[in-house]
Amino acid sequence: MALIVQKYGGSSVGSVERIQSVARRVYKTVQAGNSVVVVVSAMGKTTDGLVKLAHDISLSPNRREMDMLLSTGEQVSIALVSMALQEVGQPAISLTGAQVGITTEAEHTRARILHIATDRIERHLNQGKVVVVAGFQGMVSAEDWEITTLGRGGSDTSAVALAAALRADFCEIYTDVPGILTTDPRLVAEAQLMDEITSNEMLELASLGAKVLHPRAVEIARNYGVSLVVRSSWTEEKGTWVISPQPIPRALINLEIARAVDHVEFDTNQAKVSLLRVPDKPGVAAKLFGEIARQNIDVDLIIQSIHDGNTNDIAFTVISSTLNRAEAVASAIAPVLRSHREADEQAEVIVKQEIAKVSIAGAGMIGRPGVAAKMFATLAEVGVNIQMISTSEVKVSCVIDNADCDRAVAALRHAFEIEQRGSEGAAICPLSSPNAELGAITDPLTHSNGFRYRTESNAADTQTMGVQLPVPPVRGVALDMNQVRLAIRQVPDRAGMAAKIFGLLADHNISVDTIIQSQRCRIIDGIPRRDIAFTIARMDKQAAMEILNVAATELGWGEVVLDDVIAKVSIVGGGMVRQPGVAAKMFEALAQHQINIQMIATSEIKISCVVAQEQGVKALQLIHAAFGLAGSEKMQVSV
Ligand code: ADP
Ligand code: ASP
Ligand code: MG
């Protein structure tokens, strides 16, 4: 007998018939000998309707009242699902988040879960009842018992958090698609269903726009080792398993705010190549990285800055031993890229040998803006200047001077309270094998009920045997049309600037992604300065502009520039590490159709390109096809 948490999304409970069908599925699961906790969302598009009502009344509705309003949607569905269960002869009880004891921080409309009391649920389960819990909501356990919500799409997070707190055998997310597909099937009809995906990959996809799972749900699954599957509530298909590595044991208090950083990593075997002033037109990145790939040179981080005038800067890092070859490629290409403008507008190649990459690794780095800000502040405190930044949900990396590496690592270890654990499971480690990054993917066992999930013991066994399933270079493609790009011109090039900017945004809970500092430096008033650009969620645009405009005036930075007609298209795959040619293929797909890339940012397992908003869907379709994800052209798999 297993304890299963089943979550049904809005469309799965969108009508009386759908609710009755959910009740039948739950009943069947109980009849098979399992205990079931059901988590439900509001019916259909109820939450959208409530948001609209609020905006019809107020331009900026009060956030506490928003929570009062939005939490009603889920209360309707729990009662109806519970009644439907009782109708099929299954004892059931509905409970709101507050009745369960789901306590959260006092952050209205985006609260994180701190703790879930399990006694009341367990009592009802022991009485043979199905417990139907309202997703997306909790309460603040201070004197006033305030109702909070977790953020749009947050019912997934409620479900996985409940599974962690109850130590459930697994958590099933039932939705309106057969599982996790290679991209959004509404945008690319040929998208293919995956059998499984690693939690790190899914974290990236979810935070880059794949709304099939709430990123925070994946974060909890990864941190607590919850076996998680996404399935269709219409069919009996197996769905997609999200596979997590063996978790580092952690307490169930401060569930969503407990430490985000598991490791500090460093790599001193890196060198940087920058190409300055390359023309801002389609095909440049494709040409450069196509040639780099043909030479079989493995590129680690790539950034391409916002354009300045008619030119861009592109910088990338390679393993030190390949620097000469990479430089030769860049130098050979630079003259071809020359525009016929004045001499100071000519493309130029700069290499830097003595660099190091320091990284903090864990889960939920973008979703928790304070984490990256703390990393930048820590480096600033010890006087380390940051040359390149790479952000992702599972890792934030900074390229710094090699000479600063030891100091930086020691400071980061101290700041994030990472102990040095020696050789077995070192918490601070030089970057080594790609799979060390991802957590070994082990073969899940097939459970007698046909579901597959990993137990701690079989995970340990297969790790000992060294069994690892192949990880494709590109697992999925995501599109985010809800981002805007901000750029701050002429920020002084000295330690502490990234800390200042992203600290200010983090103080207002604004998550930042795709951070890029221009490579070229301008001396203004005797101070070397660079531009810094990044993307944020559209809903944070107003607040971010206000904060940064004030800071820019006070601190003498240049203009703050907004572009709100962008789209971010990203590829994600654990196997792209040490696999030359993946980036080139993505850039070539865009170049062939004359799509200009405005920004490029990468991390070990993702590559994101910012393009014009009107080209977003086309870009997604082209990239999906280029990697053969529709099944026509199978990608080579690296083991
Ligand atoms: P629910 O109401 O069940 O929570 P959501 O609408 O939040 O459902 O999420 C399911 C939707 O996510 C799908 O209908 C699909 O359009 C979208 N989606 C985006 N990316 C993906 C992907 N990679 N795989 C599957 N679905 C995706
Ligand atoms: N009903 C909420 C929303 O629409 C929560 C969810 O569906 O996950 O965002
Ligand atoms: Mg959802």
Is the CB of 80 inside a 6 Å radius of any atom of ligand 1? Answer: no
29-38, 49-58, 485-494, range with the lowest pLDDT? 485-494
Ligand 3 midpoint to CA 101 (Å): 22
Q: Is the pLDDT of residue 560 over 50?
A: yes
- Going by C-alpha positions, the residue among 151, 216, 210 that lies closest to residue 186 is 210
26-35, 136-145, 238-247, 628-637: the lowest-pLDDT one: 628-637
Given this model, what pLDDT does residue 464 score?
Answer: 29
Q: Has residue 450 got a pLDDT over 50? A: no
Crossing angle (nearest 10°) for helices 284-294 and 582-592 = 140
Cα 399 to Cα 268, 412, 433: the distances in Å are 10, 14, 19
Tens digits of residue pLDDT in 379-427: 999 999 999 999 999 999 999 999 999 999 999 999 999 986 543 333 4
Task: State which ligand 2 atom lies nearest to the alpha carbon of 10.
Answer: 7
12 alpha carbon, closest ligand: 1
Q: Look at residue 471 in the predicted model and tell me its pLDDT.
A: 78
Give residue 305's pLDDT: 79
Ligand 1 within 6 A of CB of 173: no
Residue 298 Cα to ligand 1 midpoint, Å, equals 34
| Res 31 pLDDT > 90 | yes
Amino acid at 517: Q
Distance from residue 175's CA to the centre of ligand 1 (Å): 7
Inter-axis angle of helices 616-626 and 582-592, nearest 10: 130
Cα–Cα distances in angstroms (integers) from residue 426 to residues 213, 442, 463, in the given order: 31, 20, 16
Handedness of CA 255, 259, 262, 266 (dihedral sign): positive
Tell me, using a 6 A CB cutoff, whether residue 153 lines ligand 2. yes
Least confident of 13-22, 333-342, 461-470, 596-605: 461-470
Mean pLDDT for the stretch of residues 465-482: 78
The pair phi, psi for residue 364, each rounded to 5°, is 75, 35
136 C-beta closer than 6 A to ligand 2: yes
Among all chains, which residue has been given the structure tokens 């590559």?
Answer: 607
- Would you say residue 456 has pLDDT above 70? no
Residue 50 pLDDT: 98
What span, in angstroms and rounded, lies between the C-alpha atoms of 533 and 214? Answer: 26
With a 6 A CB cut-off, is 369 part of the ligand 2 pocket? no
Kindly give the number of the ligand 1 atom that is closest to the alpha carbon of 183: 23
The three-class DSSP label of residue 558 is coil
Tell me the best of 155, 157, 175 to mutate to test the pocket of ligand 1, counting ligand atoms within 8 Å of each CB and taking the most: 175
DSSP 260-296: -EEEEEEEEEEEEEEEEEEE-STTHHHHHHHHHHHTT
Q: Is the pLDDT of residue 466 over 90?
A: no
- pLDDT band (50, 70, 90) for residue 265: very high
Is residue 566 within 8 A of residue 534, CB to CB? The reply is no
CA–CA distances in Å: residue 253 to residues 104, 117, 209, 263, 523: 11, 10, 29, 21, 50
- Best probe residue, ligand 2, of 40, 74, 136, 171 (max atoms within 8 Å of C-beta): 136
Q: Checking phi first, is residue 350 left (phi over 0); if not, alpha (psi -120 to 50) or beta?
A: beta
pLDDT of residue 342: 52
Residue 26 has pLDDT above 90, yes or no: yes
Percent share of the chain, pLDDT over 70: 89
pLDDT of residue 279: 85
Q: CA torsion, points 394, 616, 307, 556, in degrees to nearest 10? A: -60
> In the CATH scheme, what is the code of domain 3-258?
3.40.1160.10
- This prediction has a pTM of 0.90
* Residue 345: pLDDT band with limits 50, 70, 90: low
Residue 312 is predicted with a pLDDT of: 84
CA–CA gap between residue 315 and residue 295 (Å, rounded): 18
Q: Is any ligand 1 atom within 6 A of the Cβ of residue 47?
A: no
- pLDDT tens digits, 271-310: 999 998 888 888 989 999 999 999 999 999 999 976 667 7
> What pLDDT score was predicted for residue 339?
57
On the question of a common fold for 3-258 and 263-430+477-632, the answer reads no
Q: Is 181 in the pocket of ligand 1 (CB under 6 A)?
A: yes
401 alpha carbon – ligand 1 mean position (Å): 42
The answer, yes or no, to whether any atom of ligand 2 lies below 6 A from the CB of 10, is yes
- C-beta of 14 in contact with ligand 1 (< 6 A): no
Identify the band that residue 633 occupies on the pLDDT scale cut at 50, 70 and 90: very low
As a whole number of Å, the end-to-end CA separation of the chain is 36
E strand spans, 10-50: 35-40
- Which one, of 575, 573, 577, 565, lies nearest residue 612 by Cα? 565
Q: What number is the average pLDDT over the span 312-319?
A: 92
pLDDT one-digit tens code per residue, 140-184: 987 688 999 999 999 999 999 999 999 999 999 999 999 999 999
Tell me what pLDDT residue 593 has: 95
When pLDDT is averaged across residues 341-369 and rounded to a whole number, the result is 85
> How far, in Å, from the CA of 149 to the mean position of ligand 2?
9
Ligand 1, residues 212, 240, 621: which to mutate, most atoms within 8 A of Cβ?
Answer: 212
Does the C-beta of 47 come closer than 6 Å to ligand 2? yes
Return the domain boundaries, the chain.
Answer: 3-258, 263-430+477-632
Q: Domain 263-430+477-632: which CATH class?
A: alpha beta
Share the mean pLDDT of the chain. Answer: 88
What pLDDT is recorded for position 420?
67
What confidence score (pLDDT) does residue 446 get? Answer: 29
Higher pLDDT, 41 or 457: 41
State residue 27's pLDDT score. Answer: 98
Q: What is the pLDDT of residue 49?
A: 98
Q: How far is the CA of 156 from the centre of ligand 3 (A)?
A: 6
Query: Would you list the DSSP string of 559-604?
Result: -EEEE-SEEEEEEE-GGGTT-TTHHHHHHHHHHHTTPPP-EEEEET
The CA–CA distances, whole Å, from 574 to 194, 606, 607 equal 14, 8, 11
Tokens for 266, please give them.
């460093």
**244 has pLDDT over 60:** yes
Closest to 472 in 3D by CA, of 630, 590, 605: 605
Q: Ligand 1 center to residue 600 CA distance, Å?
A: 26
Atom of ligand 1 nearest to the CA of 11: 2
CB distance 96 to ligand 1 below 6 Å: no
Distance CA 639, CA 637 (A): 6
Between residues 615 and 365, which one has the greater pLDDT? 615
- Higher-confidence residue: 17 or 455? 17
- Is the model's pLDDT at 353 over the cut of 70? yes
Where are the alpha helices (H) located in 365-477, listed in sequence order? Answer: 369-381, 405-415, 434-438, 456-465
In the prediction, which pLDDT does 465 show?
Answer: 31
Return the ligand number nearest the Cα of 137.
Answer: 2
Q: What SS3 class is residue 453? A: strand
Nearest atom in ligand 1 to the alpha carbon of residue 182 is: 23
- The 10s digit of each residue's pLDDT in 98-124 is 999 999 999 999 999 999 999 999 999
Q: What is the mean pLDDT of residues 345-355?
A: 87
Percent of the chain with pLDDT over 90: 76
Residues 6+ apart with CB under 8 A from 267: 356, 357, 359, 430, 431
Report in angstroms the alpha-carbon separations of 86 from 8, 23, 74: 18, 9, 18
Give residue 340's pLDDT. Answer: 54
Ligand 1 mutation target, pool 184, 241, 481, most atoms within 8 A of CB: 184
